[in-house]
Structure 1
Amino acid sequence: MTTNEPVLQIQHLNKDVKQNNEGQYERKNRRALVDIGNLAPTVVEVGKPTQISRPVTRNFCTQLGENAQPAADKNVKIQKPQPEPNKGDVPLKPHEETPRIKSKKPSKSLTTVLTARSKAACGITTKPKDLVADIDESDINNELAEVEYVEDIYKFYKLSETEGGLQDYMNSQPDLNAKMRAILIDWLIEVHRKFNLMPESLYLTINIVDRYLSVKKVPRRELQLVGISAMLIACKYEEIWPPEVTDLIEISDNAYPREQILTMEKAILGHLGWYLTVPTPYVFLVRYSKASLPYDSEMENMVFFLTELGLIHYSVIITNCPSKLAASAVYAARCTLKKTPAWTETLKHHTGYYEHELRECAKILVTFHECASETKLKAVYRKYVNPEKGAVALFPPARNLEAVVSDGDSE
Structure 2
Amino acid sequence: MDMGAEKQNDVMKSENSQGFRMVGVKYGREMGSSDNRRALRDINNLAGSNVPYPPKIIKKVITEDEKNKQSFVGRRPITRRFAASLAQNSQDCLQNVSTRAKPIGCLVQARNQLVQDTSFACTGDAIYEEEHVAFPIDEPLPMVEDTEEMIDCGMKEVEMEDVEAKLLEDIDICDSDNTLAVVKYVNDIYSFYRETEELGCVPPNYMSTQFDINERMRAILIDWLIEVHYKFELVEETLFLTVNLIDRFLARQSVPRKKLQLVGVTAMLLACKYEEVMVPVVEDLIVISDRAYTRDEVLQMESSIVNTLQFNMSVPTPYMFMRRFLKAAQSDRQIELLSSYIIELCLVEYEMLKFRPSMLAAAAVYTAQCSLKGFKHWTRTSELCTKYSEVQLLDCSRMMVDFHQKSGKGKLTGVHKKYSTFKFGCAAKSEPALFLLDMRN
Q: TM-score, normalised by structure 1?
A: 0.67
Distance in 1 of aligned mates of 2:333 and 2:410:
26
2:394 maps to 359
The 1:139–1:126 alpha-carbon spacing in structure 2 relative to 1, beyond 3 Å, is closer
Provide Cα deviations, 1:85-138, integer angstroms capped at 9, x if missing partner.
Answer: xxxxxxxxxxxxxxxxxxxxxxxx9689636747999xx999999972511001
Q: Deviations over 1:137-186 (max 9, x none)?
A: 01111111111111111111011013442113111011111111000000
CA pair 120-180 structure 1, distance change in 2 beyond 3 A: farther
Q: Give me the whole-angstrom Cα distance separating, in 2, the residues matched to 1:113 and 1:310.
A: 54
What per-residue deviation string (whole Å, max 9, x for no partner) do you get for residues 308-328 of structure 1? 0011011102x1010001011
Shift of 1:340: 6.4
Is it true that 1:327 corresponds to 2:359 in the alignment? Answer: no
Which has the larger displacement, 204-213 or 393-402? 393-402
Amino acid at match of 1:227: G
Which residue in 2 is equivalent to 1:237? Answer: 274
Aligned to 2:233: 196
Cα drift, residue 238 of structure 1:
0.8
Tell me the equivalent position of 2:418.
383
Q: Deviations over 1:265-290 (max 9, x none)?
A: 11101111111220011100110111
1:338 counterpart residue number: 373
1:349 to 384, 390, 400: 384
Q: Which amino acid aligns with 1:137?
A: I
In the alignment, is residue 114 of structure 1 matched against residue 146 of structure 2? yes
Q: Which residue of 1 aligns with 2:44?
A: none
Q: In structure 2, how many angstroms separate the alpha carbons of the residues matched to 1:387 and 1:119?
A: 58
Tell me the amino acid that sits aligned with residue 389 of structure 2: Y
CA contact (8 A) 2:104 2:151 kept: no
Q: Cα 1:160–1:110, aligned 2, differ >3 Å: closer, same or farther?
A: closer
Aligned twin of 2:258 = 221
Matches of 2:180 and 2:374, distance apart in 1: 30
1:313 and 2:345 correspond:
no
Whether 2:182 is the aligned partner of 1:146: answer yes
Q: What amino acid does structure 1 have at the position aligned with 2:421? A: N
1:173 to 182, 205, 210: 210
Larger deviation: 245-254 or 333-342?
333-342
CA contact under 8 A between 1:342 and 1:404: conserved in structure 2? Answer: no
Moved over 6 A (4+): 109-112, 118-121, 124-131
Distance across 2 between alignment mates of 1:148 and 1:127: 23
> What are the Cα deviations for residues 209-267 of structure 1, in whole angstroms up to 9, with x where unaligned?
00000110001110000001000000111111111111111111001011101100111
Match of 1:264 in 2: 301
Secondary structure of 2:403's aligned partner: helix
Query: What is the TM-score with the length of structure 2 in the denominator?
Result: 0.62
SS in 2 for 1:275: coil
> What is the match of residue 392 of structure 1?
427
* Structure 1 segment 270-289 matched on structure 2, within 5 A: 270-289=307-326
2:403 to 347, 350, 368: 368
CA distance in structure 1 between the aligned counterparts of 2:149 and 2:264, rounded to whole angstroms: 61
Change (3 A) 1:206 1:223: same
What's 1:85 paired with? none
Structure of greater Rg: 1
- Where does structure 1 lack aligned partners over 5 or more consecutive residues? 1-108, 406-411
SS of the residue corresponding to residue 227 of structure 2 reads helix
How many percent of aligned residue pairs carry the same amino acid? 44
- Distance in 1, matches of 2:211 and 2:416, equals 31
C-alpha separation in 1, matches of 2:290 and 2:332: 39
Equivalent pair of 1:119/1:125 in contact (CA under 8 Å)? no
Size of the alignment, in residue pairs?
A: 293
1:184 correspondence with 2:204: no
- State the alpha-carbon separation in 1 of the partners of residues 233 and 421 from structure 2: 14
Q: Which residues of structure 2 form unaligned runs of 5+?
A: 1-102, 106-143
The verdict on how the C-alpha distance between 1:212 and 1:113 changes in structure 2, with shifts beyond 3 A counting, is farther
1:156 aligns with one of 192, 197, 206: 192
> Measured at CA, do residues 330 and 404 of structure 1 come closer, stay the same or move farther in structure 2, by a change above 3 Å?
farther
Give the Cα separation in 2 of the matches to 1:113 and 1:237. 61
